Structure 1
Amino acid sequence: MMERLLILEDGSVYRGQGFGSDELKTGELVFNTSMTGYQEILTDNSYCGQIVMMTYPLIGNYGINRDDYESIEPAVFGFVTRDLCQSPNNWRSQETLDDFLKAHNIPGIYDVDTRAITRKLRNKGTMRAMMANPDTDIEAAVKQLQETDYLHDQVARVSSSKIFPIPNRGHKVVL
């Protein structure tokens, strides 16, 4: 794993370890207090354009499996956790969290103080954030964050552009 930074629009910088993709993106940093369900959160389209931080400390312990996806493609822009389990132990696990994030071009960072960041977000509200390499010009990154607008096209980004059937028995429903 390599060192990675989490930079917030207020100038806060958190050093941690990178995992997942090296394709670093800017997004709205939010937190989730669930103790389980990180896979469902990552594939929940309501998090489109957001960098999701988990407040539960250990994430990745049961791996990833295709049966628990909430959508076909994840739409989150990043993932933050305190501790990362790199050797999941569950009979349903098909891949590690790190492998999943790499396959879907989602950057992650762990070994950061998620409690301090959560308190900051609770007091100040969500903030724009980015993950960055350790040699990044912090002042320039903060300026970029402050000038970047939030997404306004999430529905278009996550909506299907084609009709597709979902096999089932019983009544047919069209959405």
Structure 2
Amino acid sequence: MSKSHTNRPAKLALSDGTVYSGTAFGAEGEAYGEVVFNTSMTGYQEILTDPSYCGQIVTMTYPLIGNYGVNPEDVESGSLSLRGFVCRELCRTPSNFRSTMPLDQYLREAGIIGLEGIDTRALVRRIRIHGAMTGVLSTTDLDDKSLVEKAQN
């Protein structure tokens, strides 16, 4: 089993002190940005390549992401501008005749950190109630206090 398919821990800390723990996919490291959400049921590849998400950590509200993989025809721009990507569950084995690679590999190659396995409904509810917040998404620093401090600065 490749490293991308192992249970790598990751955390998302918000500037209000809330921390979500889950499993990493995509790249490793740390990413900072405004935490936002998207309610689309499909089109995650277009969202990933949409320049309007530049510098943001995007949370998908639909519970399963990655089921049709990634292909060159569905890109909105030549690169990924977002900082991080969050979903409830990542489909690691896409099923679509147009798919050229799984989402995990696509994000890894683009240097984007992904987080799965958190309660995205609770995260979106928090953003809706309290407004936009800065967050830090990390696979390297997993200390809650340290991550919250980074998110607040």
Counterpart of 1:74 in structure 2 is 80
Which of 78, 96, 99 is equivalent to 1:93?
99
Higher RCO by CA contacts (8 Å cutoff, separation 6 or greater): 2
Counterpart of 2:14 in structure 1 is 8
Counterpart of 2:23 in structure 1 is 17
- Which aligned pairs between 1:147-166 and structure 2 lie closer than 5 A? 147=153
Write the deviation string for residues 30-51 of structure 1: whole angstroms up to 9, x where unpaired.
0000000000000000000000
Structure 1 unaligned spans of 5+: 148-175
Q: d(CA) in 2 for partners of 1:142 and 1:23?
A: 16
- Which aligned pairs between 1:36-51 and structure 2 lie closer than 5 A? 36-51=42-57
Which of 140, 146, 150 is equivalent to 2:146?
140
**Structure 1 stretches of 4+ moved >4 Å:** none
Letter in 1 for 2:82: V
Q: Say if 1:99 and 1:83 are closer, same or farther in 2 by CA, change over 3 A.
A: same
Letter in 2 for 1:113: D
Asked if 1:116 is matched to 2:122, the reply is: yes
CA contact (8 A) 2:27 2:114 kept: yes
Asked if 1:54 is matched to 2:60, the reply is: yes
Q: Say if 1:110 and 1:48 are closer, same or farther in 2 by CA, change over 3 A.
A: same
Letter in 2 for 1:142: V
Percent identity between matched residues is: 50
CA contact (8 A) 2:10 2:142 kept: no
How far apart are 1:3 and its partner, in Å?
A: 1.2
Instruction: Give the structure-1-normalised TM-score.
Output: 0.81
Q: Give the 3-state SS of the residue equivalent to 1:64 in structure 2.
A: coil
How far apart are 1:134 and its partner, in Å?
A: 7.2
Q: d(CA) in 2 for partners of 1:102 and 1:79?
A: 11
Structure 2 unaligned spans of 5+: 1-5
Question: How many residues get paired?
Answer: 147
Letter in 2 for 1:44: D
Instruction: Give the structure-2-normalised TM-score.
Output: 0.92
Counterpart of 1:158 in structure 2 is none
CA contact (8 A) 2:141 2:147 kept: no
Q: Which has the larger Rg?
A: 1
Write the deviation string for residues 69-90 of structure 1: whole angstroms up to 9, x where unpaired.
0000110000000011000000
Counterpart of 2:3 in structure 1 is none
CA contact (8 A) 1:59 1:83 kept: yes
More strand by share: 2
Letter in 2 for 1:71: S
CA contact (8 A) 1:5 1:134 kept: no
